[in-house]
Chain A
Amino acid sequence: MLGVLITVGMLAGYTVLVTSADLSHGVRSVQADWMVRSLRLFLPSFSFGVAGFTALFYWDALFPDRRDFLILAPFPIPLHQVVAAKLTALLLFVVLLVGAVNVTPDSMVLLSLFGPNSRGNWLRLASAQVAATFGASAFAFLMVAAGQGILISLTSARIFRRTSPWIQMFGMSAMVITVLGFPFFAGLLRPAVEQRQFWLYLFPPVWFSGLFELLLGAQNQFLASLGMLSIQMTALAMLVIIVTWGFGFRRHFRRTLESEDAARRPRAWSVAHWLASSPQERAIFGFAGKTLARSQKHQFFIATYFSAGLAIALFFGVAIQEGRLALSPAGARTVAFVLGFFAISGFRAVFQFPAELASNWIFRMTEARWTEVSRNATRKLVLTISLVPLLLVALPLEIAAWNWPTVLEHSVVQLIAAALLVELLFWNFDKVPFTCSYFPGKTNLAVLTILYIYGITGYSFNMADLEIAMEHRWAVGVRFFVGAALALMLSWRRHPEASGVRFDGSEPVIQSLELN
């Protein structure tokens, strides 16, 4: 994980290196000053986003969980020692995380700043840079830990367990958007500061970029006050951690051991009954649906995918007008296609990750060459749980932006385009979702990235263009609908060879099972 962070940090540092160096020397205009301020927002945003994402990812490891308590309780260890050990481990983790996130980009930026013009000023610049980035990442971690402390102190163990995945999922999405949405935040910075817009108080990376003003001599008093706010909020987060952990730890220990997950009455999986045509198809549909609904690791994966999609959709569909975000009339049509692309390709990817590999035996034992059955179930599941909610969520916004016929046309085209995309992406999907340990490890990451970039842009722009063309020439629409109907019919009627469903790449995976 640290390796990944360092690599990402290197790339991030590199992107701002040259410009930062150019703009940090000599006399600058007011406009150039704001450009520097915008650029200075990047690394605090990056540090905050990555550290916050990591802290949320390790949410369960911040406080000892039920399993930790069950293992530790029989040992003759006083609880205060457990607390002290946990806090020490967390402190070490924060130091490593903050260092891993920031050392490389900061080093590169500071090296670039070092020159004949900045020699006298370099130490102050360096301290401001380090304070802003290290502070942002440390605050992100402390903020998450403080939030968890409050939750543990105020709620029951059961509510804590139930709400945690949602907090993680939405929190991780927000962190991804914080990093990927940087161009918007940078573009909005000047008007937002000049108008003292409220969102600045809710966006910690701006507070930490205010440390530059505070430490280098305030040219902008408001940003300097936000810099002071960053120090106050960091202190507050630490105070909250000390108080909540101090009071909450013993209570959490007792409650965690005493509480059990209450009985869960299974929801009638009516969608499966309605859509799937055979007991096997319904079984696979229901299994995959329940896995998605209950498996945290898969939910986090999908949430990250959606967040990345949302950030990219914002690039296409939103523009800055008069210092505020506004819907771009030209790009708005692409938003739903981008989100659809990420949703479908996200599910294609998440299905590859096994839920509980050792439990796959039930599928292997009952297998009846249901490649086609599995594909049908998967196709219906993807369209049901990714596209339909997306259409429903987008509908009010589209109604507000467009007229009814346009909304209807857009929804129908989106549905058909998504169905075609599902056929394309799942063409050779010969697995049961969440059961296969075989991951295509030979896929070239660079090729995959290029395909993705072309896939997103090609799919969303082409479909948006096609949609506009259909509004002007009905013949285009007829050709599209007829062509799509034919393609879908052929694909749905395709009967692939009745081969066995793929579960594992090679036998050694099985070999490891209890051959003691």
Chain B
Amino acid sequence: MLEIRNLTKRFRGAPVVADVSFAVRPGEITGYLGPNGSGKSTTVKILTGLLHASSGHIFYRGKNVFDDPIGFRQRLGYVPEEPNLYGYLTGLEFLQLAGGLRSLPEDLVTKRSNQLLELLYLHDARWVPIANYSKGMKQRVLIAAALLHDPDLLIFDEAQSGLDITNSLLFRHLLRELAARGKAVLYISHVLELVEKVCDHIVVIDKGKIVADDSVGGLRTLMQRPNLEGVFMQLIHQDDLESRARAIASAIMP
């Protein structure tokens, strides 16, 4: 189990993530929601070691990950929010690079890379430079790279972004399958319908603080809302979006 305890990150003294605590359990998909700038990506970057925490702890299987960050990262698969990949490498080459850096045997890397590219509908494009890939294709390369080393913990940051309908559905089934096989999955998304359908547990962050941490059903009951969208809107105190939409249309068509 991944446990985040009292995690805080300050930039120039201002807290971006403040005293955040929650857990991601094996066999479960934990949804991590929040508006833009709420601190989701900062939390994930601390988890993945791309940022250092100002204070707080992260425990994985009872051990502080800051004591052995490399050991933790070896068990972690990560799909970042932005599909930043080396554009001059091909899809297959990127997976070979990822596998090599993770010290996987080359035969295994080649076999598994080709398998994953085939299953993610990318096999025909495996020798095409990534610069020529669409956003959805890049996302699928990232998903393959995150799964390549059979990690125990998976963090998907907006991983469905840019995927077409088929691949989006495939991704949803994949999340469920991975959780069913005992993987702990942290899933960050803005697509509330998808989160509602696949996540067992929801953590909502707003302005750097956790404002909800419960199952989807528990949240609906607690907030007395019929769906996750209603719960979310109530939790983060959004403006009247319909009025705002009317104002935008009026700005160009007075």
- A positions within 8 Å CB-CB of B: 260-261, 263-266, 278-280, 282-284, 286-287, 290-291, 294-295, 355-356, 358-359, 361-369, 507, 510-511, 513-516
Q: A279-B104, A513-B45 are in contact. Are A359 and B127 (CB under 8 A)?
A: no
On whether the beta carbons of A368 and B103 are closer than 8 Å, the reply is yes
CB-contacts of B47-65 with A (<8 A) = 48-52
- Chain A residues, Cβ within 8 Å of B101: 279-280, 283-284, 362-363, 366-368
Minimum Cβ distance to chain B for residue A370 (Å): 8
CB-contacts of B34-74 with A (<8 A) = 36-37, 41-42, 45, 48-52, 70, 73-74
On whether the beta carbons of A511 and B41 are closer than 8 Å, the reply is no
How far does the alpha carbon of A266 sit from the alpha carbon of B92 in the complex, in Å? 9
On whether the beta carbons of B78 and A278 are closer than 8 Å, the reply is no
- Interface residue B90 (Cβ < 8 Å from any Cβ of A): yes
On whether the beta carbons of A282 and B132 are closer than 8 Å, the reply is no
On whether the beta carbons of B11 and A511 are closer than 8 Å, the reply is yes
How far does the alpha carbon of A14 sit from the alpha carbon of B127 in the complex, in Å? 54
How far does the alpha carbon of A365 sit from the alpha carbon of B94 in the complex, in Å? 14
Supply 7 A–B pairs (Cβ within 8 Å), ascending by A. Answer: A264-B127, A279-B99, A355-B88, A368-B74, A515-B11, A516-B36, A516-B37
On whether the beta carbons of A280 and B36 are closer than 8 Å, the reply is no
- Chain A residues, Cβ within 8 Å of B94: 362
On whether the beta carbons of A260 and B88 are closer than 8 Å, the reply is no
On whether the beta carbons of A359 and B73 are closer than 8 Å, the reply is no
Minimum Cβ distance to chain B for residue A497 (Å): 15
Q: A361-B80, A362-B101, A368-B103 are in contact. Are A264 and B90 (CB under 8 A)?
A: yes
Chain B residue nearest in CB terms to A367: B70
Partner among A290, A359, A366, A369 whose Cβ is within 8 Å of the Cβ of B93:
A290
Q: A510-B51, A511-B11 are in contact. Are A369 and B128 (CB under 8 A)?
A: no
Chain A residue nearest in CB terms to B128: A263
Interface membership of chain B positions 79-94, coded 1 if the CB is closer than 8 angstroms to chain A and 0 otherwise:
0111011111110111
- Interface residue B225 (Cβ < 8 Å from any Cβ of A): no
Minimum Cβ distance to chain B for residue A291 (Å): 7
Minimum Cβ distance to chain B for residue A287 (Å): 6
On whether the beta carbons of A261 and B132 are closer than 8 Å, the reply is yes
On whether the beta carbons of B129 and A282 are closer than 8 Å, the reply is no
On whether the beta carbons of B100 and A280 are closer than 8 Å, the reply is yes
- Interface residue B233 (Cβ < 8 Å from any Cβ of A): no
Partner among A366, A368, A510 whose Cβ is within 8 Å of the Cβ of B50:
A510
Q: A260-B132, A282-B106, A515-B16 are in contact. Are A287 and B73 (CB under 8 A)?
A: no
- Chain A residues, Cβ within 8 Å of B41: 513-515
Minimum Cβ distance to chain A for residue B99 (Å): 7
- Chain A residues, Cβ within 8 Å of B86: 287, 291, 355-356, 359
- Interface residue B102 (Cβ < 8 Å from any Cβ of A): yes
Interface membership of chain B positions 1-28, coded 1 if the CB is closer than 8 angstroms to chain A and 0 otherwise:
0000000000100001000000000000
Number of residues from B at the complex interface, CB < 8 A: 49
On whether the beta carbons of B106 and A279 are closer than 8 Å, the reply is yes
Identify the interface centre among B36, B42, B74, B89: most chain A CB within 10 Å of its CB.
B89
Q: A362-B97, A367-B70 are in contact. Are A507 and B51 (CB under 8 A)?
A: yes
Chain A residue nearest in CB terms to B98: A362
- Chain A residues, Cβ within 8 Å of B52: 507
Minimum Cβ distance to chain A for residue B77 (Å): 9
Majority SS of interface residues in chain B?
mixed
14 other A-B residue contacts (CB within 8 Å) besides A263-B125, A266-B90, A283-B100:
A264-B127, A264-B128, A279-B103, A282-B106, A286-B93, A290-B89, A356-B86, A359-B86, A364-B50, A366-B101, A510-B45, A511-B51, A514-B41, A514-B82
On whether the beta carbons of A294 and B125 are closer than 8 Å, the reply is no
On whether the beta carbons of A278 and B97 are closer than 8 Å, the reply is no
How far does the alpha carbon of A305 sit from the alpha carbon of B11 in the complex, in Å? 41
- Chain B residues, Cβ within 8 Å of A260: 132
On whether the beta carbons of A291 and B88 are closer than 8 Å, the reply is yes
- Chain B residues, Cβ within 8 Å of A284: 100-101
On whether the beta carbons of A358 and B84 are closer than 8 Å, the reply is yes
On whether the beta carbons of A361 and B87 are closer than 8 Å, the reply is no
On whether the beta carbons of A264 and B84 are closer than 8 Å, the reply is no
How far does the alpha carbon of A287 sit from the alpha carbon of B101 in the complex, in Å? 10
- Chain A residues, Cβ within 8 Å of B189: none
Partner among B37, B48, B131, B132 whose Cβ is within 8 Å of the Cβ of A365:
B48
Q: A368-B70, A510-B45 are in contact. Are A356 and B87 (CB under 8 A)?
A: yes
- Interface residue B254 (Cβ < 8 Å from any Cβ of A): no
On whether the beta carbons of B73 and A261 are closer than 8 Å, the reply is no
Minimum Cβ distance to chain A for residue B224 (Å): 32
- Chain A residues, Cβ within 8 Å of B125: 263
Interface membership of chain B positions 99-130, coded 1 if the CB is closer than 8 angstroms to chain A and 0 otherwise:
11111111001000000000000000101110
Minimum Cβ distance to chain B for residue A377 (Å): 10
How far does the alpha carbon of A279 sit from the alpha carbon of B104 in the complex, in Å? 7
- Interface residue B30 (Cβ < 8 Å from any Cβ of A): no
- Chain B residues, Cβ within 8 Å of A261: 128-129, 131-132
How far does the alpha carbon of A356 sit from the alpha carbon of B129 in the complex, in Å? 14
How far does the alpha carbon of A366 sit from the alpha carbon of B36 in the complex, in Å? 28
- Interface residue B145 (Cβ < 8 Å from any Cβ of A): yes
Chain A residue nearest in CB terms to B76: A365
How far does the alpha carbon of A286 sit from the alpha carbon of B89 in the complex, in Å? 11
On whether the beta carbons of B106 and A366 are closer than 8 Å, the reply is no
Partner among A361, A507, A516 whose Cβ is within 8 Å of the Cβ of B84:
A361
Chain A residue nearest in CB terms to B102: A366
- Chain B residues, Cβ within 8 Å of A369: 70
On whether the beta carbons of B90 and A365 are closer than 8 Å, the reply is no
On whether the beta carbons of A290 and B88 are closer than 8 Å, the reply is yes
- Interface residue B139 (Cβ < 8 Å from any Cβ of A): no
- Interface residue B160 (Cβ < 8 Å from any Cβ of A): no
- Chain A residues, Cβ within 8 Å of B127: 263-266
- Chain A residues, Cβ within 8 Å of B70: 367-369
How far does the alpha carbon of A205 sit from the alpha carbon of B82 in the complex, in Å? 50
On whether the beta carbons of A294 and B80 are closer than 8 Å, the reply is no
- Chain B residues, Cβ within 8 Å of A279: 99-101, 103-106, 109
How far does the alpha carbon of A263 sit from the alpha carbon of B95 in the complex, in Å? 17
Chain A residue nearest in CB terms to B49: A364
Chain A residue nearest in CB terms to B108: A279
